[in-house]
Amino acid sequence: MSLRNIIPDKIHPEVWKNRMGDIDDIILYALNSFSPMSRAEFISDEKTRRMNKNTFHKHAKELKTRGYIDSYRDGQKSFYNILPLGENELSRRLFKYNLDFDTLVETQSKKNKNLANRYSKVFRANKIDDPEIQIEYLKLVSVITHDKLSEVYSKDEFNKLILYLTFNHPKFFPKYTISIENFIKKYNKISEGKLSKSFITTFIELVVEKKKYGFNFHKISVEAKGIELYFTEDSEYGQIFKLIVDSKLKDLLSLKNLGFLDLSYSTLQNTYDDIIHCLTKDFKLFHPELSNSLFQLIERYRDSIKQQIIKHIPNELIEFSTFSLLPGRKIKSKIINESEKKDIEKLNEMKLLIEINKIEQAKSILNKILIQGLNKNLVVKLMELVAELVRNDRLDVAKMVYEETLTTSGVQTYNLNSVVDDFIISYVQKELNEGNSDAVLKLIENYEKYNGEPTLPYLHIKISTLIDMGRDYEAKEVVDKMSENRNKYGVFIDSELYPDTNFSDVESLQKDVKEEKLKKSFDYMIGILNSRFFMKVGNYSHSLEIINEIFDLNIKTPKLYSLKAMNEINLELFEQALKTIDEGLIISPSNLKLNQIKTTALFKLRRYDDALAAINVTIELDPYFEDPDSSKNLVMKAWIFFYKDDLNNALKVVNEAYNKFPHLSDVYEIGSLIYDLRGKYEKALELINVAEEKGKSIIPYNKAQLLKNIKKYPEALATINVAIKNSLEDPINYQMKAMILAEMERYDEALVQINQSINLSDGGDRGLDSIKEQILQRKALLIANQGKKKEAIEIIKEAINFNPKWASGSYHVYGEILMIFENYTGAIEQFMFAIKLPFTPIETYIKLGKSYLELRRLDEALKYLEIGKYEAQHRVKKTILTKENVEIEQDYPQVELIEEAEKYIDEIISLKEETQKSSVYYTFLLLLKSKNGEKSYYTGHTNNLYRRLNEIRKRPPKKNIASIKLLYFDIFSSRKEAIDRSKEIDKLSEQEKVELINFREDSI
C-alpha cells in the first residue's frame, strides 16, 4: 500500500477529528511522523481524512512563514519537511488533545530522533564523542533554534555558538569548560563557521544577558579562571536550582515565623551557606570550586524576586526583597564610621519591617534612631524614605515617619520643619530634573489622596509633568477643569506677575488683594498652561496667539517673553525671536531662560560665534549651576563647539558636563558623536549606550552604524531589525541593513535590502544607488575570485550602468576582475575609464601601473605608480591637535598602498637595469638617422653610446661612428632599411618605441 493511503489514516483520531480539527496541527503531526511528504499526500476532494488544495496551501504557507515547516522541489513534485521550531510547536500543541501516553512518547521520540540526525554532522565535524555533551547540545538546540537567529547568524556559526554554551554548562566544570580564546583557537581549525571573539561576546550579550530572543539563562562568573558558565532557567538543571533555593528560603521564613530566629543579615548569610552546601555537596549539582560564584548567583536570583514584587506578582519570598548585597562579600565597600553604619543598618531593618507591614516595630526602631541624635545624612535618608513611601501609596506610613522626624529635637537645624508640601515639591523638582516623570506623576497623585483637595501649585506641577511626558490631552483636561472651577482652589497670586506684593499670609491675601488681581493671576496661569499645551502638540501659531492675547492685557513677564520667543523659533522666525528676547531682557536682564533662548535663536541662525558669546553670558548668570535649568547650558555650549567643528573644545565641555550632570543623556549623545567622527567607535558606542540607558531616544541607525564600524555585525543586525520593525516605511534602515550584510559577505541578502530602500525612496536617491553599486562591486570581486569570470563581469557592468558618469569605483573593480584573469590589456582600458571620472580610487593608479608592468611597458608603469604613491602619501588628511591646542590638518599616509607602489617601482628599476642594452640599440638607430643627413639632438649621446657598447661587449670603445655602424649593421637587412626605419622614429609613441627596442633585442 502506498504512503498516500497510509499516512492520513495513521494520524491520531483526536488530532484529525473527522476533518474538524486544527489543520495546522494535522500538517505538523503528519510531517513530524513521516517527513518528507509530498503535497499530493495531503490533498484529495474525494477521500476522507484529506483536505482540498486551497486549504492545504493556505495553512502550509502560514506554517512556512512562522518557520515551522519548509518545502523543496524534486522534479515536478513539491515536498515538505518539519523544522525544529515546528517540532517544538507541535509538542506544545499536543497537550490540548486527549492523547494516550504511548502516542505522546512516540511523538517526542520522533522529534528527538530527528534532532539527533540533524546534528550528527555537527558532532562528527567537531569531534564530539562524549554522549553527555551531545545530549546537552541537543537540549539547547531544541530550545534555542536557528530559525529565531537566522537573520543574525549563519547555520555554521549558530552550531558553533551552541557548542560553546554546551561546553560551559556548570555540569561540565572544570572538565570541558573553555575560554572564548581557546574555543576559537581549537574549533575554528576543525570545522566550518569561523567565529571571532566579538561574535561570541555579542551572542552572549544578546541571547543570554539581554534576553532579546526570549531565552532565560542563569550566568555564573568564575573570575579566577576567566570563564563564564550558563544554564537555562527552564531546564531540569534550572528547575532543581530554583527548587533548592526557594525551599531553603521558605524554611528560613518558617523558623522566623515560629519565633526560633530573627530575620537579619547574619541569618540570611547562614542560609546562603546552607544552600551552597546543598548544591555542591548534597546534590552535587555544582562543583565545590564554584561556591563563591554561586553566592553571587543566589543574590541575583533574590534580586529577580524583588523585580517580581515590583511588577506586582505575588511571591512568598517578599521579605527578602529589601536586603541589599550581603555584608562581607561586597566587591567594593565605603568606609563609614561605626555610628553611621549602625544607623544605616537600623534604617534598612526599619524598611524591611515596613515592607512586611510590621509598622509598630518599624516605628519603635525609628524612635531608637531618633533618640540617639540626628546627622544631616540620616535626615536626608529619612526624607527620601518619606517621598518613596508617598510615591508607593504608603501614605499613612509616610506621615508617621515624617511627623516623628520633625518632632525630634535638633531637626530644625536642617530646615525641614516646614510642611510636607515643601519637601515633596522639592523632591518632585529633583525627580523632574532627572527625567523621572513617571515617578513624579505617581507621587503627585498619591499626594492628592494624602492631602485632600489638590492645591494650585500642585496642579501646576502635575500639568507640566503630563506635558513633559507627552500626555498632552490629559494635561489639557486638568487645565480646563481648573478654568471651570476657579473658586474651588482658593486664592492664587502669581509671584512673577506681582513680585512686590507680600502674600505670606493667606488670610491677609483674601482681605487685601483685589479681586481683579486674583482673576488676573488665575487667567495668567491658565493662559500660560494653555500656551504650553498647544506648543507641545505642535500648534505653535495658536500657542503664539494665546501669548499675544495675554500681552494685550498689559501683562509683561519674562515667562511670557520666553514662551513667545520659543514659539517663534519653532515657526523658524529666528530674527523675530531675537527681537522678542531683547524686549524681555530689558525688564529682566539676568533671566536665565531668556538668555538660554537667545543662544538657541543664534544657534539656529548658524551665528555660532554670537551663540558662544551668549551661552557664556548665560553660564556667568549661574556659575555654580544652582538652577536646575542651568545644566542645559553646558549641553548647548558643547553643541555650539561641535557645529563649529571645534571638536577639541566640544569634548572639554562634554567632560565637564559628565562630572557635573551625569544624569543628562544629551551629554553622552554629543560625546558619542565626537568620538565617532574621530574614528574611536568603541568609545562612541559606550557613550551612546549610556545615553540610551539614561532615557535618550537613540536613532537605531546611528547605533547600528557604530556596531558595524567595530565589526559587531550580529548586534548591528539585531539593532537595525528592531528599527525596521518599528518603522517599515523608512528607507534609511534598510540601507543600513544592506551595508551590514555586505560587510558580512551576504551580498544577495544585502541587495534585497537596498532594493527595498530604493523602492521606498521612489528610486531617486543617488546615495542609495551608490550603496547598491558598492554591494555589486564586492559581490563581483567575490564571484571573480571563485573563477566565475562571465558572471562577475555581468555583475560589475550592472554596477557601472547605475550612473556611468560617477562609476570610477566600478570601473576600478572591473579592471581588478580582468587582472584576476590576467587580461591586463583589458584591465588597463577599464582603469583608464576610472581615472577620467571624479573620485578615482588611489588604488586605481597602482593597479594600472601593475598592469603595465605585467605587459613590460615600463615607462607607463612607472608613471602611474609614481602618481599612485603620491596620492597615497598626500590625498587623505587627518586633524591633529598641536601643543598650542590648535587643530590642523596634515597628511595621513596610506601605508599599505605606498608599500605596494614602492614594491612595483623597485621591480621596474631592476627590469630597466637588465634592459639597458635596448636603449643602446635605440640610440644607435637615432645615430643612423643623423648619418643620413638629418639633424637630430640624439647625436649628443655618442660618448654615452661608446660606454654602453664597452659594457656590453667588453671591448675597447670605438672611436668613430663608422665603426659602430659596421659592428651593429647586421641587425638590419640593409642600410636602406635602417635609414627608412630611422625616419619614422619621431612619429612613434613612447610605447611603440619600447616595442621596437624589444623587437630589435629579440632579433639579435
**Span 720-778, pLDDT tens digits:** 888 888 777 777 888 888 888 888 888 888 888 877 777 776 544 555 667 778 888 88
**Span 339-391, pLDDT tens digits:** 666 777 778 778 877 877 788 888 888 887 777 666 656 776 777 777 677 66
The pLDDT score that the predictor gives to residue 232 is 87
> Is pLDDT at 850 greater than 90 in this prediction?
yes
Mean pLDDT is lowest, of 476-480, 541-545, 942-946, for 942-946
Structural contact between residues 707 and 736, judged by C-beta atoms closer than 8 angstroms: no
Residue spans per domain, the chain: 3-104, 128-232, 235-333, 334-452, 627-697, 915-1003
Residue that wins the pLDDT comparison between 588 and 524: 588
The pLDDT score that the predictor gives to residue 690 is 83
Which of the 8 DSSP states describes residue 956?
A: P
Question: Collapsing DSSP states into helix, strand and coil, what is residue 294?
Answer: helix
Which of the 8 DSSP states describes residue 235?
A: S
The pLDDT score that the predictor gives to residue 934 is 37
Q: What is the mean pLDDT of residues 631-644?
A: 87
The dihedral through the CA atoms of 862, 864, 868, 870 has a sign that is positive
**pTM of the entire structure?**
0.44
The pLDDT score that the predictor gives to residue 747 is 80
- Closest by CA to 474, choosing from 545, 533, 546, 431, is 533
Q: What cell does 13 get?
A: 483520531
> Is pLDDT at 189 greater than 80 in this prediction?
no
CA angle in degrees (0–180, nearest 5) for 93-97-98: 145
The segment with the largest mean pLDDT, out of 125-139, 143-157, 523-537, is 125-139
Confidence of residue 965 (pLDDT cuts 50, 70, 90): very low
Q: What cell does 125 get?
A: 565535524
**Span 264-276, pLDDT tens digits:** 666 677 788 888 8
d(CA 351, CA 349): 5
- Closest by CA to 799, choosing from 813, 789, 785, is 813
> Is pLDDT at 509 greater than 50 in this prediction?
no
Inter-residue long-range contacts of 657-666, CB under 8 Å, 24+ positions, other chains counted: 657/631, 660/625, 660/631, 660/634, 661/625, 661/631, 661/634, 663/433, 663/434, 663/435, 663/694, 664/631, 664/635, 664/694, 665/435, 665/690, 665/691, 665/692, 665/694, 665/695, 665/696, 666/635, 666/691, 666/696
Residue 568 phi, psi (nearest 5):
-65, -40
Confidence of residue 107 (pLDDT cuts 50, 70, 90): low
Question: Collapsing DSSP states into helix, strand and coil, what is residue 72?
Answer: strand
* Residue 621: Cβ within 10 Å count: 15
Residues facing 218 on adjacent strands: 231
> Is pLDDT at 787 greater than 60 in this prediction?
yes
Q: Domain 627-697 is classified in which CATH homologous superfamily? A: Tetratricopeptide repeat domain (1.25.40.10)
Residue that wins the pLDDT comparison between 659 and 315: 659
Strand-strand pairing, 77-82 and 37-38: antiparallel
The pLDDT score that the predictor gives to residue 849 is 94
CA angle in degrees (0–180, nearest 5) for 299-301-305: 110
Confidence of residue 216 (pLDDT cuts 50, 70, 90): confident
379-390: burial string, b at 16+ Cβ within 10 Å, e else:
beebbebbbebb
Average pLDDT, the chain: 73
**Span 589-606, pLDDT tens digits:** 888 889 999 999 999 998
**Span 141-175, pLDDT tens digits:** 877 877 777 777 788 888 888 899 999 999 988 88
Q: What is the mean pLDDT of residues 452-466?
A: 64
Q: What cell does 207 get?
A: 541571547
Q: How many CA atoms lie within 13 A of 696 on its CB side?
A: 21
Question: Collapsing DSSP states into helix, strand and coil, what is residue 232?
Answer: strand
Query: Residue 331: exposed, middle, or buried by beta-carbon count in 10 A (0-12, 13-18, 19+)?
Result: exposed
Structural contact between residues 355 and 336, judged by C-beta atoms closer than 8 angstroms: no
The pLDDT score that the predictor gives to residue 567 is 92
Beta strand residue intervals within 682-787, DSSP E: none
d(CA 235, CA 247): 18
**Span 252-299, pLDDT tens digits:** 766 666 655 555 666 677 788 888 888 888 888 898 888 888 888 887
The CATH label, of 1.10.10.10, 2.70.70.10, 3.30.420.140, 3.40.50.300, for the domain at 3-104 is 1.10.10.10
d(CA 668, CA 657): 9
Confidence of residue 118 (pLDDT cuts 50, 70, 90): confident
**Span 44-100, pLDDT tens digits:** 656 555 677 778 888 888 888 777 888 877 777 788 888 777 777 777 776 666 666
Cis amide bond preceding 174, omega within 30: yes
The pLDDT score that the predictor gives to residue 24 is 79
